[in-house]
Amino acid sequence: MSKMSLNGLMKKDGAKTVMASLLSIIIGMAAGSLIILIVGLTTPTLGVKSVWDGIRIVFAGLFTTGRDAAGALTFGFNPQMMGNMLFRATPVIMTGLSVAVANKTGLFNIGAPGQYLAGTAATLFIALSMPVEGSEMTAWLVSQGVSCAVTYPAWLVWTAAFIGGCAAGALWGAIPGLLKAILNINEVLACIMTNWIAANLVTWAFDISALKNVVENTKSGYIYKTSFNGVETAKLGLNDLFVGSQVNGGILIAAVIAVLVYIMLSKTTFGYELKACGSNRFAARYAGIKDKRSIVVSMAIAGALAGGAGALYNLAGNTEFFWSTYQSLPAVGFNGIPVALLAANNPIAVIFTGMFMSMLDICGLQLTNLTGYNEFITDVIIAVIVYLAAFSLVIKMMINKLIKKDGKESVK
């Protein structure tokens, strides 16, 4: 590619956005490497060799397979880690889409944790309350004297649970949307309040329910896995490709939903109206767009996506939900914010940034397992990337200056 064509490409806004995101990632990874260098050189038990190991794991921890007989790190295709990365990415992609949709329409959805909890609660109640023929839960209920005359096929219960989780998230997301549209209450404040209301309501709902794991009496602080009722997301052959991992078809569902969201926002009149309202609410109203309805619908869609994140994660069949949530909010709800920022709110890009963030989580675990470093170093990397992604406009301005300067030198 010639220098002139490269300059022409870099003048496009999309190319500048990609470059800004890549620079954010590179600088974040460099910051993490610098921390590893400082910690390694100042800690007698680590040393210089551990610095090189730590940096390699930060950049390629997903492909680390362990240590050989001599104690050296080994690398290659690690199906278990790759599959676990895809499994972890599934809910993050969904919450990233939630934040991205709201941002595209001029709103900041910081309420994804509460919407995630609402979706989780609805999903688990449906998935565990509808008896499935031949499941452990149905057999247990019968042993407790509960009549299960009517049973349902597992696929139907799964579908109902997923749709129910999305609907619960949409309902919870619509609340701050209504407050914004009708009373002009800032959606950030409304979302923060609804987050904690959701945490307490979910705790109360499960506290009075019969879904606490009493079969394994040491786990009564957790809700039954959906696999206990024979309801779990199909593997779709991914378990054969990524042997030993937790991956299931949820990652494919999340990717399809991301594509559908992209089509909705970019290729439909409905999506245009939502974005127009986000760009200028009053101009949109003047053009005949119902701005109040657009705000509520946008937050409801964002809530449905966050609720879907909770649904997909808990329908995996191998996850346990700690029902006492009133003291903390799920981190996956907040993780959608950096995913959306790094993707510049592009639904397709959210798929890849979600996987990248999950990859950093895996790298953090590998740091702890294979070196003397702490996994929280990757949290620092994520934090740096988030801050830089938030300043993407500044990075774009710097790129513009470089292009102009390069163009003047070419003319000379």
**Torsion, Cα of 215, 119, 348, 345 (10° steps):** -130
410, burial (CB in 10 Å: exposed 0-12, middle 13-18, buried 19+): exposed
Q: How far apart are CA 82 and CA 247, in angstroms?
A: 9
| Cα angle, residue 399 at apex, residues 397 and 402 outer, rounded to 5° | 115
Q: Is the pLDDT of residue 337 over 80?
A: yes
pTM for this predicted structure: 0.90
- In total, the chain counts a number of residues equal to 412
pLDDT tens readout for residues 206-256: 999 888 888 887 788 899 999 988 999 999 999 899 998 999 999 999 999
Q: Residue 237 is encoded by which pair of tokens?
A: 């052959």
pLDDT tens readout for residues 7-63: 555 556 667 777 778 888 888 888 888 888 888 888 888 888 888 988 898 888 889
Q: What is the DSSP string of 179-214?
A: HHHHH---HHHHHHHHHHHHHHHHHHHHHTSS-B--
Coil/strand/helix, residue 77: coil
User: What region does 2 belong to: left with phi over 0, alpha with psi -120 to 50, or beta?
Assistant: beta
Coil/strand/helix, residue 321: strand
Q: Is the pLDDT of residue 321 over 90?
A: yes
Residue 222's DSSP bridge partners are 322
Q: How far apart are CA 397 and CA 185, in angstroms?
A: 33
Residue among 249, 98, 69 at smallest CA distance from 177: 98
pLDDT value at residue 386: 75
pLDDT tens readout for residues 135-180: 777 777 777 676 666 788 999 999 999 999 999 999 999 999 999 9
Highest-pLDDT range among 14-23, 387-396, 403-412: 14-23
Please state, for a pLDDT cut of 70, what percent of the chain lies above it.
90
pLDDT value at residue 8: 55
Answer with the residue of higher pLDDT: 269 or 393: 269
Mean pLDDT of 294-306: 95
Residue 2's DSSP bridge partners are none
Residue among 12, 144, 134, 27 at smallest CA distance from 384: 27
Q: Residue 385 is encoded by which pair of tokens?
A: 């990337």
Q: Average pLDDT over the chain, rounded to whole?
A: 87
pLDDT value at residue 403: 62
Q: Is the pLDDT of residue 280 over 70?
A: yes
Residue 378: pLDDT band with limits 50, 70, 90: confident
Q: Which DSSP letter does residue 231 get?
A: -
Residue among 119, 157, 327 at smallest CA distance from 233: 157
Q: Locate the domains of the chain by residue range.
A: 3-77+393-411, 91-353
Please tell me the chain's helix, strand, coil percentages from 3-state DSSP, rounded to the nearest 5.
70, 5, 25
Phi/psi at 371 (nearest 5 deg)? -135, 180
